[in-house]
Structure 1
Amino acid sequence: MSAKTEGIAPNASRLLWAGFMAILAAGVGFAIRGGIFDNWGKEFGFTATQLGAIGGAGFSGFCFGIILGGVIVDKIGYGKLVALALICHIISAFVTFGASTPENAYSYLFWGMFIFAYANGTLEAVANPLVATLYPNNRTHFLNILHASWPAGMVLGTVAGWILDDKMQLNWKLQLALYLVPTALYAIMFLGQKFPKSEAAEKGASFVQMLKPVGILGAVVACYLLALFFGDIIKAFSPDNAKAIGYGIGGALLIVVALITKFSLGSILLFILFVTHALVGAVELGTDGWIQNITGNLFSSEQGKYLFIWTSAIMFGLRFCAHWIETKLKLSPIGLLLVCAIIACVGLNLASGMQTFGMALVALGIYAVGKTFFWPTMLAVIGDRYPHTGAVAMSIMGGIGMLSAGLIGGPGLGYGKDRFAGEALEKANPALYAEYKAAEPSKFLNLDSTAAYGLDGKKLAAAKEASPKTPEQQAVVDADQKGDRATLKADSFIPMTMAGIYLLLLIYFKAIGGYRVVKIDEQAA
């Protein structure tokens, strides 16, 4: 199946691969960042929860880029957003590289990652609706090809980080700068191209018409996550009032959407898809952000990189096969998502008990197969069922997924690592736990009821690096590994929940005559 013959525009293939390169830049930056978490923890003394929050900013900013971009892309055109993303990618490098001391590092790294993610989100606000518009007859296939660039970028970033960090031991700033190479390439590939309009924009749909199917129900999901985000940001300035202010901002945004849509309730199906995509973001990207760190801890740093490359390579290859799998197995997009959720759940459960490198290859390989089709196929479902929303619904759903990864998935796994490792050491040796526990408690979603003391980052790093290890140091390392395994086990409950939702959706579509692509004129009628 050719990208040239399937596309509705003569430059469809070039635009597809330009979008591919743009997302590849995000994947390269993501992978290198995951590989240097240990550098940051050692250099600046961060806890796992702090590292998770920094990594989470690399997702949260994405939400703003994709939602704001998705709202205006049909009105201002794709080219202007590509230029904005390019500028933000460059700025993010300078901000991130400003981290130099334990006192300033958290702020510089957090905001550097946020700006980087904003650029990535802006590019996806371009690429997703662009490819959905260019290939209306086979969105699942070509959106999966577009998003094959994400694991490709992760493979390239991991290999580059492995060579520059483990082998050459170059400064982490030099490693992170590599994402600027594909950044320059996507800028060149998009330069001078003519972009088509989405089907909704071509029909003259207004922004209000595009937003109505999202309505109050869909906005509740996005605004709740935005409330969490603003509350987390404001916490640095007003810790006592942060939560209330965050919910106040989220509530105000919800009222704005209600007024704009004239209090349209929105589509219940779209609401369910939004909630499910929040789970997708948490389990796919949240886990990706930590998996290299976890496997490197359970085995070795080098083996952790091998495993990350292995899972990313599986995703890259399979995302070119979505059409073949749907056709041969006679699966609808919802059926494909259901199968993937079950496989991902099995893979994470197996990974929680992996003791050998061979078993890790099997367990994480199964998990990789499961997570491969989640993100692009969910986008394809939006494009198939809600073409009249243009880029709006698709972009909001992408933003929800990334916000969830940044606020729930990444920090949640970091919190799990802290909590379970601390509990394991306290159970094994209370006196040793008192010596190694972090100065500040870790919390999930800023809830005081979840407060738990993890292990101090610098002391933990020293115990890991000691050779030979004292019995006490070995006990600390063992507890940390037990925390990692328990975290993967807890993580498996997310795809289990997704499988239940996809099963209900499968039953729903069967009841209404089966899953099919909706045409915009039909939907309007």
Structure 2
Amino acid sequence: MHSLPQPKDSIVRNSREQTLAASPHAQRLLWSGFMAILAAGVGFSIRGGILGQWGEQYGFTQTELGAITGGGLTGFGIIILLSSLIADRIGFGPLMFAAFIMHLVSAALTLATGAAFAAGGKPLAFQCLFWGMFLFAIGNGIAEAVVNPLVATLFPKNKTHYLNILHAGWPGGLILGGLASYFMAGGGDTKPVAWEIQISLFLVPVVLYGLMMLGQRFPKSEASSSGISYREMLGELGIVGAAVICSLLALFFKSDLGLSPMVSGSIAAAMLVAFGAATGFRFGHLLLAALLVIQGLVGYVELGTDSWISKITGTIMASPANGLLLFVYTSFLMFVLRFFAGPIVEKISPLGLLAMSAVCGAGGLTLLGNAEGAVMCIVAATVYGIGKTFLWPTMLAVVSEQFPKGGAITMGAAGGVGMLAAGLLGGPGIGFLQDQNASNNLRQASPAVFERYESRTQDGTPKENEFLWLKTAGLDGAKVGVLEDDGKEAQRALELLENEKAKPEAIGAQQKLVDWWKNDAQPNAKDDKPLVEKAGLFGGRQALKLTALVPATMFVCYAFLLILFWMRGGYKARGMHH
């Protein structure tokens, strides 16, 4: 078993940080963490490319495929929060072993889908894929909760640099998974490579990080090794920091679990009181609470935008494939640039890097919202890609440098808040902006066409989409999808439901959609389609331009923090007993 170098004299004892950063052990754990994050990116990317094969092979509808891939960022955030609470209690090693097991079991369940389908048909195949993807998300969340404080512990003098290198694994995984999907997708007379082979590729980095961590002795976090008690770590987060998290959890209870606002708020308030009791009602730090709020904005603008941007840019460039390639290009930028964060922060400090990133993010989204043609899309995407590159890992570094006594808890809080904000606010918020602007555009262009594609309830009354306290009329995604593929998927889904003898209500709803297409929409499709496509393009453009206000707000926050630290003598990392 390898172990960390042991101090032999007083000089070495006073230089633990340099010893850790210079040891092969530290580098090995860094790159194993890189592989763990890369595995998440590869699996995420490849999964998106094989959904069509799952649908054709096992007869899943789009709704069922959405359920299989559901949970996503919100569940990821919750797992990070929960894992971070126990990381300093049970140690990094056992948690990483748990993540490794989750990834392996996820692969086993997913690859058993064919046998399950042969034995129990579509329902059993659905269960294999659903739980396989669910365990994949759990493994990713546990790994994220470990590798961030682990790298911060191993490289305490260069946290920004090495956390950026660590998180280069995510865009690296997206690139590798995207390229694998591109070359294995088939086309024309060429059949795609079996989806089982494609999804198995994520096991390569999983096995690598497992082997790299095998036999390694994981260090305790900075806080644990300095004798900071668990209660003190919780106290660093404090009531004010926990309030930020509980606010997002209240939104989760309402939006994802369907609880009433009163019940959701009551549960979140009870959780906050319980947390306060566990910490002796320590107030915490306003600066940390502010950083958590800013990290929520980072999650909104980075991960929330990523959920939509390839679709929106694909519409702008009149080619979904080109939109996907543009996303791969920005991922490549992120991958390369994250290796150069260290030299940059030596010149301008982490907060200076964050402020510059926010400016580029706001400028890039504004340019994308106004871009015409492929060249301008590439230019705009370059600016945006540079802007989002350093935000996430550098924010984690700032939290760790300013609140080292929080250990894995405060870093996990930052990661969890970012993921929750992306899932609860970013994706839905940008979708809401698209709905609102697309609907208004189509209503003004042709009230009759808008009425034909307006989202409606079962009884035929207009259905309003909600985001927080806001409401807007939206276009029916199912109807727009039917228009885009001339009713092919709707007819296929109806035949599947009938063959499986599904519930009468499900068959009736699908039959209603098919009848709507044949009797109402198809005769007008030639005139409707350009207007609907134009409305969708307008909605996407406006959503990007309005989303640019988020990084603009972040810049104001970073500027304020720069002034605050300047008044204190400049940005400096705080010591454990500061």
Please report the TM-score for the alignment, with normalisation by the length of structure 2. Answer: 0.80
Structure 1 partner of 2:226 = 203
For 1:149 and 1:227, the matched residues in 2 are separated by 32
Structure 1 partner of 2:175 = 155
Structure 1 partner of 2:471 = 450
| Identity rate, percent | 44
For the residue of structure 1 that corresponds to 2:218, the secondary structure is: coil
Q: Cα deviation per residue 1:147-198 (whole Å; 9 max; x = unaligned)?
A: 1111111111222222334645567776555433322332222222111111
Query: Rg larger in 1 or in 2?
Result: 2
Q: How does 1:375-386 map to 2 (within 5 A)?
A: 375-386=392-403
Structure 1 partner of 2:450 = 433
Shift in alpha-carbon separation, 1:274–1:166, aligned structure 2, 3 A: farther
For 1:204 and 1:442, the matched residues in 2 are separated by 54
For 1:252, give the aligned amino acid. Answer: A
1:230 aligns with 2:253: yes
Shift in alpha-carbon separation, 1:459–1:37, aligned structure 2, 3 A: farther
For the residue of structure 1 that corresponds to 2:28, the secondary structure is: helix
Quote the offset at 1:56 in angstroms.
7.1
Quote the offset at 1:397 in angstroms.
0.8
Structure 1 partner of 2:272 = 254
Q: How does 1:23-102 map to 2 (within 5 A)?
A: 23-33=37-47, 44-45=61-62, 57-92=71-106, 94=109
For 2:298 and 2:52, the matched residues in 1 are separated by 26
For the residue of structure 2 that corresponds to 1:194, the secondary structure is: coil
Q: Retained in 1: the 8 A contact 2:455–2:473? A: no
For 1:37 and 1:400, the matched residues in 2 are separated by 29
Structure 2 partner of 1:308 = 327
Quote the offset at 1:206 in angstroms.
1.3
For 1:459 and 1:102, the matched residues in 2 are separated by 27
Q: Retained in 2: the 8 A contact 1:56–1:405? A: no
For the residue of structure 1 that corresponds to 2:156, the secondary structure is: coil
Q: Retained in 2: the 8 A contact 1:63–1:399? A: yes
Q: Retained in 2: the 8 A contact 1:200–1:390? A: yes
Structure 1 partner of 2:544 = 488
Quote the offset at 1:466 in angstroms.
9.2
1:141 aligns with 2:161: yes
Shift in alpha-carbon separation, 1:195–1:442, aligned structure 2, 3 A: farther
Q: Cα deviation per residue 1:95-150 (whole Å; 9 max; x = unaligned)?
A: 79699999999999887655433321210111011101111111111111001111
For 1:419 and 1:109, the matched residues in 2 are separated by 34
For 1:19, give the aligned amino acid. Answer: G
Q: Cα deviation per residue 1:476-513 (whole Å; 9 max; x = unaligned)?
A: 22221222111111211110110110010001000111
Shift in alpha-carbon separation, 1:19–1:392, aligned structure 2, 3 A: same
For 1:415 and 1:193, the matched residues in 2 are separated by 47
Q: Retained in 1: the 8 A contact 2:439–2:474? A: yes
Shift in alpha-carbon separation, 1:40–1:436, aligned structure 2, 3 A: farther
Tell me which of the two structures has the higher relative contact order, counting C-alpha pairs closer than 8 angstroms and 6 or more residues apart. Answer: 1
1:22 aligns with 2:40: no
| Residue from 339, 343, 347 that aligns with 1:320 | 339
Q: Retained in 2: the 8 A contact 1:230–1:246? A: yes
Quote the offset at 1:400 in angstroms.
0.4
Quote the offset at 1:433 in angstroms.
2.0
Q: Cα deviation per residue 1:243-294 (whole Å; 9 max; x = unaligned)?
A: 3332222111111111111111110100100000000011101111222222
Q: Retained in 2: the 8 A contact 1:56–1:411? A: no
For the residue of structure 2 that corresponds to 1:476, the secondary structure is: helix
Q: How does 1:367-406 map to 2 (within 5 A)?
A: 367-406=384-423
Structure 2 partner of 1:353 = 370
Shift in alpha-carbon separation, 1:344–1:474, aligned structure 2, 3 A: same
For 2:373 and 2:220, the matched residues in 1 are separated by 52
For 1:16 and 1:55, the matched residues in 2 are separated by 29
For 1:512, give the aligned amino acid. Answer: R
For 1:335 and 1:268, the matched residues in 2 are separated by 20
- Report the aligned-residue RMSD: 3.3
For 1:331, give the aligned amino acid. Answer: I
Structure 1 partner of 2:560 = 504
Quote the offset at 1:464 in angstroms.
5.6
Quote the offset at 1:40 in angstroms.
9.4
For the residue of structure 2 that corresponds to 1:450, the secondary structure is: strand
For 2:145, give the aligned amino acid. Answer: A
Q: Retained in 1: the 8 A contact 2:454–2:473? A: no
Shift in alpha-carbon separation, 1:171–1:116, aligned structure 2, 3 A: same
Q: How does 1:167-246 map to 2 (within 5 A)?
A: 167=187, 168-169=191-192, 175-176=198-199, 178-235=201-258, 241-246=259-264
For 1:225, give the aligned amino acid. Answer: L
Structure 2: which 5+ runs fail to align?
Answer: 1-16, 458-462, 489-524
Structure 2 partner of 1:130 = 150
For 1:135, give the aligned amino acid. Answer: F
For the residue of structure 1 that corresponds to 2:465, the secondary structure is: coil
For 1:204, give the aligned amino acid. Answer: G
Q: Retained in 2: the 8 A contact 1:208–1:260? A: yes
Shift in alpha-carbon separation, 1:172–1:405, aligned structure 2, 3 A: farther
Please report the TM-score for the alignment, with normalisation by the length of structure 1. Answer: 0.88
> Structure 1 stretch 71-80 or stretch 359-368: which is displaced more?
71-80
Q: Retained in 1: the 8 A contact 2:95–2:142? A: yes
1:479 aligns with 2:523: no
Q: Retained in 2: the 8 A contact 1:200–1:389? A: yes
1:332 aligns with 2:346: no
For the residue of structure 2 that corresponds to 1:350, the secondary structure is: helix
For 2:230, give the aligned amino acid. Answer: F
Shift in alpha-carbon separation, 1:377–1:71, aligned structure 2, 3 A: same
Quote the offset at 1:458 in angstroms.
5.3
Q: Retained in 1: the 8 A contact 2:74–2:420? A: yes
> Structure 1 stretch 110-119 or stretch 135-144: which is displaced more?
110-119
For 2:476, give the aligned amino acid. Answer: L
Q: Retained in 2: the 8 A contact 1:338–1:499? A: yes
Shift in alpha-carbon separation, 1:173–1:488, aligned structure 2, 3 A: farther
